[in-house]
Amino acid sequence: ILGRHRLHATVFACSVICDEQQEYWWDTLDRALLRHAGSANLELPLGTTSMRLLVDGDPLAHPRWSVLSAETPTSRHAAYRRLAGELKGLAPDARAATLAALLQQLGLDTAPAADARPLERAELRALARGDTIEVGAHGRTHPQLSSLPPDAQREQVAGSRADLETWL
């Protein structure tokens, strides 16, 4: 479609996540809280602390809701907002532990959803070979860069760029 309209786009890739075929943390959170019905009282680890959350309400009753919506229709949506805010600033290992506990307590599969996987190397190469889509570096693991020291920020960005240059 882009080519037909002579439009160009850039796809930003996270090299480690692409390599490991991990689900992005916000997709895991979405799958757990906004695509899964049922109620639960959760006790989740958050690094050195923990968080209690009530997950209630039918997420399917609000199919157009997003984190950008002004309203928070159920405790489930409030839990999503609160947990998303906390996860954003956690170190990757702590974030992974929180999400694993969330999935376990809700009785959900830990395997990534098929519709939420990152592009694979071969798919990125195919995009880069075309005239329409450019592939850009977006860090190795998609951390909140402002929470990292300058050396770690440089490693995330330069490392991702080097990985992509090697692959593409």
HEC profile for the chain?
Answer: CCCCCCCCEEEEECHHHHHHCCCCHHHHHHHHHHCCCCCEEEEEEECCEEEEEEECCCHHHCCCCCCCCCCCCCHHHHHHHHHHHHHHCCCHHHHHHHHHHHHHHHCCCCCCCHHHCCCCHHHHHHHHHCCCEEEEECCCCCCCHHHCCHHHHHHHHHHHHHHHHHHC
Q: pLDDT of 56-67, one tens digit each?
A: 888 888 888 888
pLDDT band of residue 37 (cuts 50, 70, 90) is confident
pTM value > 0.85: no
- Of 69-78, 108-117, 148-157, least confident by mean pLDDT is 108-117
Would you mind telling me the total number of residues written for the chain in this entry?
A: 168
